[in-house]
Structure 1
Amino acid sequence: MPIFNGYGCNMALRLEPLIRHRLRFDERLPLYAWFEDVDLTRRLGRHGRIVKLPSARGVHLGIKLGRTSGTRLGYSQVANPIYLARKGVYPWFRVLRDLSRHLLVNCVKSIRPERYIDRRGRLRGNARALRDLLRGRLRPERILDF
Structure 2
Amino acid sequence: MLPADMVGGVSAARAADLEASGEALSDFVSRVDTVLRDLEESAGSPTKVGAQTIKESSLSSGLASLFPEAQRLFAQYNNVHEQLTSLSKTLHLQIEAIGIAVKGASVGFDNLEEGQRRRFWAIQWEIEQIQDRASVEHAGNGTGLKA
Task: Flag whether TM exceeds 0.5 (same fold).
Answer: no
Structure with more contact order per residue of length (Cα contacts < 8 Å, sep ≥ 6): 1
TM-score norm. by structure 1 comes to 0.28
Q: TM-score, normalised on structure 2? A: 0.28
Structure that is richer in helix per residue:
2
Q: Which has the larger radius of gyration?
A: 2
